[in-house]
Amino acid sequence: MTQRVYLDWNATGRLRPEARQALQDALALAGNPSSVHAEGRAARRLIEGAREQVAALVAARPADVFFTSGGTEANILALSPAIETLTEKRPRGPLLISAIEHSSVRSGGRFSRQAVTEIAVDGEGRVDLAALAEAVSGTTRPLVSLMLANNETGVVQPVAQAAAIVHAAGGLLHVDAVQAAGRIPCEIGLLGADLITLSAHKIGGPKGVGALIRLSEDIHLADPLVRGGGQERGTRAGTENVAGIAGFGAAAAAASREHAEEATHMLALRNLIEDGLRAVAPQTVIFGAGAERLPNTTLFSLEGMKAETAVIAFDLEGVALSSGAACSSGKVQPSHVLAAMGVSPLLLRGAVRVSLGWETTEADVAQFLRAWRKVSTALSKRSKEQRGMAA
């Protein structure tokens, strides 16, 4: 049987051993973290320990971490006209987002459709800072949401520069760091972010848990999405996902400890992949190659390739990867990210994403490249036949 190789870590990663252990230990506990008895206090300790570990990953204070059911919920919790600061309690708006945000940000959260404006990106997939400056200039209390790294291309956004522009206009900046965390540094203060979103399953934690983290207590999330009990200091009602949060904390601690070494390892492998892609098919296009990118992501295409067919062909060779964003895979829909970058329809159809993780090895890369040789040979044979037929 062919050995399976998993190269779809931007969709989700494997649980880190530390996270699995923390999950298992927490599942053995009976207590509700809101209860005052010893069992309840033990569950509370797990949550507060995890809050410290998650806060440390972005150099925030534990008291500024609010656990949610994932990155999607954290993004939507952040995107509300009702975010207050010490000095500004009137409703915020408009919401400005880049044209390449995740669908949860593109949904606009609690803003009306008319209150959401998209900011263009350049051909490498970086947000256009001049367009951002122009968009904020006509506003008084904008909320801007910008991802730190794109899930499809891995392109890192100029967030600190954007923050300076947004703050000069009296705005607040929310940063979706779901793909960046554990791969590049994400200190909230250095980024200039007022709010930052994390998701556990992208850093080796369990699925279904995430966090919205604020820069300081001066920011008040006055419009909870889930109302009821007073959990998460009134910001997110409902008995906490104790095991999920404990697993998230353990994954965050491991990511804080290991990310520099893992990034160097992944970058070396990604370079092997990109050299190998071009060695086999020199016309291969790697999107965002001229920009700073995450060390683990390659989005590539070849004219004539159909991403859905290529993904199936790779799967038959034992290699799991994806066409564009995982959330839209299954539906044959052109990537809004590549469309925003002005990529031609012929290349857009063939975009395939390889994303690496802490567990990826050189042998995995070798198997991927063997599969690529077969996929691209079949492709060029087919296009020669088509040319023959047309002649």
Name the site residues for ligand PLP (rule: CB under 6 A). 70-72, 75, 102, 104, 147, 151, 176, 178-179, 199, 210, 326-327
Measured from the CB of residue 199, what is the shortest distance to ligand PLP in angstroms?
Answer: 3
Nearer to ligand PLP by Cβ, of 176 and 194: the residue is 176
Collect all residues with Cβ–Cβ distance below 8 Å to 249 and sequence separation of at least 6: 22, 46, 49, 50, 51, 52, 53, 54
In 255-288, which positions are buried (b, 16+ CB within 10 angstroms) versus exposed (e)? bbebbeebbebbbebbeebbebbeebbeebbbbb
CB closer to ligand PLP out of 102 and 336: 102
CB of 246 to ligand PLP, least distance (A): 17
The verdict on whether 186 is a catalytic residue reads no
Provide the CB-side half-sphere exposure for 366 (13 A, CA).
4
Instruction: Give the number of C-alpha atoms closer than 13 A to the C-alpha of residue 233, restricted to the C-beta side.
Output: 12
Nearer to ligand PLP among residue 71 and residue 109 (C-beta): 71
Residue 218, helix vs strand vs coil: coil
Which residues partner with 209 through β-bridges?
none
Q: Minimum Å distance from CB 109 to ligand PLP?
A: 12
- Residue at shortest CB range from ligand PLP: 71
- Please check whether residue 65 is in contact with residue 219, taking contact to mean a CB–CB distance below 8 angstroms: no
Pick between residue 7 and residue 305 the one whose CB is nearest to ligand PLP: 7
SS3 sequence, 295-343? CCEEEEECCCCCHHHHHHHHHHCCEECECCCHHHCCCCCCCHHHHHCCC
Q: How far is the CB of 151 from ligand PLP (least distance, A)?
A: 3
Integer-rounded Cα Rg, in Å, for the chain is 22
User: Do residues 174 and 78 make contact, with C-beta atoms less than 8 angstroms apart?
Assistant: yes
Residue 106 or 141 having the CB closest to ligand PLP: 106
Query: Minimum distance from CB of 196 to ligand PLP (Å)?
Result: 11
Task: Kindly report the length of the chain.
Answer: 391
CB of 164 to ligand PLP, least distance (A): 22
Which residue is catalytic, options 130, 279, 327, 366?
327
CB 147 within 8 A of CB 175: yes
CA dist., res. 319 & res. 7, Å (int): 7
Q: Which is nearer to ligand PLP, 327 or 339 (CB)?
A: 327
Asked if 149 and 294 count as a contact pair (C-beta separation under 8 A), the reply is yes
Of the two residues 72 and 231, which places its CB atom closer to ligand PLP in the complex?
72
Smallest distance from ligand PLP to CB 8, Å: 11
Looking at residue 362, its amino acid is E
Active-site residues: which are they? 327
